[in-house]
Amino acid sequence: MLDKIGIAKRIAKEIKDGSYINLGIGIPTLVANYIPEKINVVLQSENGLLGIGPFPSEEQVDADLINAGKQTVSMTPGSALFSSAESFAMIRGGHVDLTILGAMEVSENGDLANWKIPGKMVKGMGGAMDLVASADNIIVAMQHTSRSGDSKLLKKCSLPITGLSCVKKIVTNMAVLDILPTGGFQLLERAPGVSVDDIKAATQGKLHVPDNVPEMTF
């Protein structure tokens, strides 16, 4: 089983040199810490910044420079600032190469639910619906099951949808899986100490299991 950092580390391996990436709040934000040094990427913040740098020092903290999670940040050399309309023009126009975000549920045809739980206070979708409707390449970071052991990789999402058929790849605490273009979860890798049977038991949606399912390496 992976912890949150493990999930972030595994996702970091998917990142290609020269990419522009939007990282959601939570585990996705952690991914930035594990991108190999030889790889150069530019992080996009939907509130209007390309080139998110590390958290600032105490002296550098600037209330006018935050990320989409409202955390104070710094800027990398070569960064650019812009409006929210321009930011979502970038996103909607397909200029961001990779979007990494969290999920509550994913269905076997790639539907994503991550914004609303009926009966609970609705905080809003923020930029998630724009991101998932627009990005060509979406990787989801999530727990494979709920605390009570119910699968979150489903035939059909039970929660309100954020976007249809948008997820390409999923990294959970148990496995790495692709969504097949024809539907279904294609199992690619097992987390250390997790068996194929564990994954089968934890996956409600249609799971394609190849003969050989390697353990993740980092």
**Binding positions for another protein, 89-118, rule CB under 8 A:** 89-96, 111, 116
* CB of residue 210 to another protein, shortest distance in Å: 30
Binds another protein (CB under 8 A): choice among 5, 80, 117, 201: 80
Size of residue set near another protein by CB under 8 A: 71
**Contact status, residue 73 vs residue 56, Cβ threshold 8 Å:** yes
CA distance 107 to 140: 12
> What does the DSSP 8-state code read for residue 33?
G
CB nearer to another protein: pick between 78 and 149: 78
CB nearer to another protein: pick between 122 and 201: 122
CB nearer to another protein: pick between 85 and 212: 85
Please pick, among 46, 58, 59, 86, the residue that the annotation labels catalytic: 46
Q: Is 136 in the site for another protein (CB under 8 A)?
A: no
Element at 106 (helix H, strand E): strand 105-107
CB nearer to another protein: pick between 105 and 111: 111
- Edge-to-edge strand list for the sheet holding 112-113: 112-113, 105-107, 153-154
CA distance 51 to 46: 11
Residue 15 burial (C-beta neighbours within 10 Å; 0-12, 13-18, 19+): buried
Binds another protein (CB under 8 A): choice among 130, 178, 189, 198: 130
Of 99-107, 126-134, 176-184, 200-208: span binding another protein (CB under 8 A): 126-134
Residue 34 burial (C-beta neighbours within 10 Å; 0-12, 13-18, 19+): middle
**Footprint of another protein on 183-202 (CB under 8 A):** none
Q: Which positions from 33 to 62 touch another protein by CB under 8 A, shown as an x/- string?
A: -------x-x-xxxxxxxx--xxxxx--xx
CA distance 59 to 71: 15
Binds another protein (CB under 8 A): choice among 13, 125, 137, 178: 125
Q: What are phi and psi of 140, to 5 degrees?
A: -105, 135
**Footprint of another protein on 12-31 (CB under 8 A):** 17-18, 20
Token digits of residue 109: 């045809």
* CB of residue 195 to another protein, shortest distance in Å: 35
46 catalytic per annotation: yes
Report strand pairing: 42-45 vs 20-23: parallel
Which residues are tagged catalytic? 46
